[in-house]
Amino acid sequence: MKCKVPFTHYFSNDLEPSLIESLQARAKSFSSATISYLARDCNEVIDALVQTLPRDSLDFCFIDPTNWQISFNSIRRLTDKRQMDLAVTFHVGGIKRTASTPPQDLLDFFPDSNWQQEYEEAKKVHRPTGRVLLQAYERGLRGLGYRAIKDYVLETNTRNVPLYHLIFASKHDKGAEFWDKIAGRSEAGQLRMPM
């Protein structure tokens, strides 16, 4: 909301109402912004949201689940025939902990079930399983028309174990150019080391 050319509309959703209330308090000073707040399951919000967005709008959606709450079908419905760039927090560490016996919501998070066999095969031959999971998800994004996908922003714990990747996906190559410029700097504005 602080950028020189802000978005015209903002839509924020979190299942936890207290987090939405906190966001509303922080955003009060941006009185000129049109902001909509929801506190619902993200999979249930999609249909109403796509009816609100103009069909020809240029959109950016930041999907920041605490694990894998959003189904891939919801991503499909959200982005269908839309110019929408995505930034998705991909919790590779959490996924690896439960990938061998995945709960239903993790199965729904991926575009198809091929990832399970690919993951187990990678484990057997000691290939990087996190990369296998990431590639399976990104393959699904490509199936939705996303041509430019970047996943080099990685957060690790103090022992350098991967926690999550931030995936950026755009249906246009220009989106990837913009992301490269943005991702080259940390949240504090410092240049990141080459990744």
Q: What is the pLDDT along the chain (195 residues), one digit of tens a residue?
A: 887 888 888 999 999 999 999 999 999 887 777 899 999 999 999 999 999 988 889 999 999 999 999 999 999 999 999 999 999 999 999 999 999 999 999 999 999 999 999 999 999 999 999 999 999 999 999 999 999 999 888 888 899 888 999 999 999 988 888 888 877 755 445 555 444
Whole-number Å distance between alpha carbons of 180 and 43: 29
pLDDT of residue 140: 98
Give the chain's length. Answer: 195
pTM above 0.85, yes or no: yes
| Own/partner long-range contacts of 75-81 (Cβ < 8 Å, ≥24 apart) | 75/141, 75/144, 76/144, 77/46, 77/47, 77/50, 78/46, 78/49, 78/50, 79/144, 79/145, 80/50, 80/144, 81/55
Whole-number Å distance between alpha carbons of 33 and 102: 41
pLDDT of residue 191: 53
